[in-house]
């Protein structure tokens, strides 16, 4: 793959839905349906999605809902062939900055306790565990850890 300097972050457009949906299917055992992404971009006024593009290909994406002064990460995925390159961390930093610009002062997300790589990345970004949702994930009834971070101007 190319160097990280070739990575471009931009707001997701309708033309990106097929690529994002493919990433979703690669990343999650119970992926969102394709129409959910169309609805996020066209109907949900609180939704903001960012894609990471390298060599013209969407290789990662992240979505969030911003309600009042809180941002909630809905989904984040990096193409399996591109993992381990800190793309997820850079994408999350983009989302944190964007959320702050839109007025959010806190950000939350859910993560599987078994997803050690993601949990470590979130901790590096300042997220702390603040709760648990029992049997949150429908594919295996795994709990979700609720993590929060306070957003600051960078």
Query: How many domains would you assign to the chain?
Result: 1
All residues at 6 or more sequence positions from 48 whose CB lies less than 8 Å from its CB, including other chains: 11, 63, 64, 65, 66, 95, 98, 99, 102
24, 40, 49, 122: the catalytic one is 122
> Tell me: the pLDDT tens digits for 106-120?
999 988 888 888 889
Q: Which domain holds residue 44?
A: 4-150
Concerning whether 15 is annotated as a catalytic residue, the answer is no
Residue 121 CA to residue 85 CA, distance in Å, equals 12
pLDDT for residue 2 is more than 80: no
Options 89, 110, 129, 142, the catalytic residue: 110
Look at the chain and count its residues.
154
Active site residue 122: yes
Q: What is the domain-level CATH number for residue 57?
A: 3.40.630.30
Measured CA distances, 79 to 14, 52, 72, 76, 94 (Å): 19, 10, 22, 10, 17
This prediction has a pTM of: 0.89
If you count DSSP H runs as helices and E runs as strands, how many of each does the chain have, helices first? Answer: 4, 7
């Amino acid at each position: 793959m190319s160097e990280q300097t070739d990575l471009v972050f931009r707001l997701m457009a309708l033309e990106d839905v097929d690529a994002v949906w493919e990433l979703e299917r690669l990343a999650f055992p119970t992926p969102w349906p394709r129409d959910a992404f169309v609805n996020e971009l066209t109907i949900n006024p609180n939704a903001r999605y960012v894609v990471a593009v390298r060599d013209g290909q969407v290789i990662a994406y992240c979505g969030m809902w911003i309600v009042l002064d809180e941002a909630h990460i809905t989904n984040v995925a990096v193409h399996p062939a591109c993992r381990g390159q800190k793309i997820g961390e850079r994408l999350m930093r983009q989302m944190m900055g964007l959320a702050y610009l839109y007025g959010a002062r806190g950000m939350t997300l859910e993560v599987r306790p078994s997803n050690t790589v993601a949990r470590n990345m979130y901790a590096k970004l300042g997220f702390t565990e603040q709760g648990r949702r029992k049997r949150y994930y429908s594919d295996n009834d795994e709990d979700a850890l609720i993590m929060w971070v306070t957003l600051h101007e960078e």
